[in-house]
Copies of this chain bind each other. A is one copy, B any other.
Amino acid sequence: MNHDSDVIVVGAGFAGLSAARALAAAGATVTVLEARDRVGGRTENVEIDGGEVVEVGGQWIGPSQDRIAALAAAVGVETFPTHAEGSNLLRLDDRLRRYSGTIPRLGPLVLLDIGRTLRKLNRLSEAIDPEAPWQATRAQRLDAISFAAWIERTMVTSTAKRLLRVAGRTIWGAEPEELSLLHVAFYLRSAGSFEMLTDVEGGAQQDRFVGGPGAVCGRVAEALGDGLVLDAAVERLEQSGEGVIARARDGLELAARRAIVAVPPPLTAAIDFRPTLPAARRQLAQRMPQGWLIKTTAIYPEPFWRADGLSGEALNEHGPVTTTFDNSPPGGSPGALVGFVGGRDARAFARLGASERRAAVLDCFASLFGPRARAAERYIERDWAGERWSGGGPVCNFAPGGWSAYGDLLREPVGLVHWAGTETATSWMGYIDGAVSSGERAAREALAAL
**Chain A interface (Cβ < 8 Å from any Cβ of B):** 143-146, 148-149, 152, 174-178, 180, 235, 266-267, 269-270, 272, 276, 278-280, 282-283, 286-290, 292, 344, 347, 350-351, 383, 385-386, 388, 391-392, 399-402, 404-406
Which B residues are in CB contact (< 8 Å) with A399? 178, 287, 399-402
- State the CA gap A269–B389 with chains docked (Å): 11
Chain B proximity of A164: nearest CB distance (Å): 14
What 10 pairs between A and B have smallest CB-CB spacing? A177-B401, A399-B399, A286-B289, A279-B385, A178-B401, A269-B269, A279-B386, A144-B148, A146-B400, A145-B149
- State the CA gap A26–B144 with chains docked (Å): 49
16 A-B pairs within 8 Å (CB atoms) are namely A144-B148, A145-B148, A145-B149, A149-B400, A178-B399, A178-B400, A266-B269, A278-B350, A279-B383, A279-B392, A282-B385, A282-B391, A282-B392, A283-B290, A286-B289, A286-B392
Q: Which of A177, A266, A287 has the most CB of B within 10 A?
A: A177
Chain B residue at smallest Cβ distance from A235:
B235
Which B residues are in CB contact (< 8 Å) with A272? 270
Are B290 and A350 within 8 A (Cβ)?
Answer: no
The count of identical subunits is 2
Which B residues are in CB contact (< 8 Å) with A282? 385, 391-392
Chain B proximity of A16: nearest CB distance (Å): 20
| Given A282-B392, A400-B400, 13 further pairs, Cβ under 8 A | A145-B146, A145-B148, A146-B400, A146-B401, A149-B400, A178-B402, A278-B350, A279-B350, A280-B347, A280-B350, A280-B351, A344-B405, A347-B406
- State the CA gap A351–B283 with chains docked (Å): 14
Which B residues are in CB contact (< 8 Å) with A286? 266, 286, 288-290, 391-392
Chain B proximity of A238: nearest CB distance (Å): 14
Are A392 and B283 within 8 A (Cβ)?
Answer: yes
Which B residues are in CB contact (< 8 Å) with A388? 276
* Given known A144-B152, A145-B145, A400-B399, contact A175–B405 (CB-CB < 8 A): yes
Partner of A287, one of B148, B276, B278, B289: B289
Q: Which of A176, A282, A290 has the most CB of B within 10 A?
A: A282
Which B residues are in CB contact (< 8 Å) with A351? 280
Chain B residue at smallest Cβ distance from A175:
B401
Q: Which of A143, A174, A283, A292 has the most CB of B within 10 A?
A: A283
Which B residues are in CB contact (< 8 Å) with A400? 146, 148-149, 177-178, 399-400
Which B residues are in CB contact (< 8 Å) with A383? 279
- State the CA gap A280–B349 with chains docked (Å): 11
Which B residues are in CB contact (< 8 Å) with A290? 283, 286
Chain B residue at smallest Cβ distance from A273:
B388
Are A143 and B177 within 8 A (Cβ)?
Answer: yes
Partner of A148, one of B276, B292, B401: B401
Chain B residue at smallest Cβ distance from A348:
B280
- State the CA gap A400–B400 with chains docked (Å): 8
Chain B proximity of A319: nearest CB distance (Å): 14
Chain B residue at smallest Cβ distance from A347:
B280
- State the CA gap A266–B145 with chains docked (Å): 24
- State the CA gap A149–B270 with chains docked (Å): 33
Which B residues are in CB contact (< 8 Å) with A266? 269, 286
* Given known A145-B145, A177-B143, A344-B405, contact A292–B269 (CB-CB < 8 A): no
Chain B proximity of A248: nearest CB distance (Å): 13
- State the CA gap A148–B140 with chains docked (Å): 11
- State the CA gap A73–B31 with chains docked (Å): 58
Chain B residue at smallest Cβ distance from A173:
B283
Which B residues are in CB contact (< 8 Å) with A292? 279, 283
Chain B proximity of A198: nearest CB distance (Å): 22
Chain B proximity of A275: nearest CB distance (Å): 9
- State the CA gap A364–B148 with chains docked (Å): 39
Which B residues are in CB contact (< 8 Å) with A152? 144
Chain B proximity of A427: nearest CB distance (Å): 25
Chain B residue at smallest Cβ distance from A281:
B385
Chain B residue at smallest Cβ distance from A146:
B400
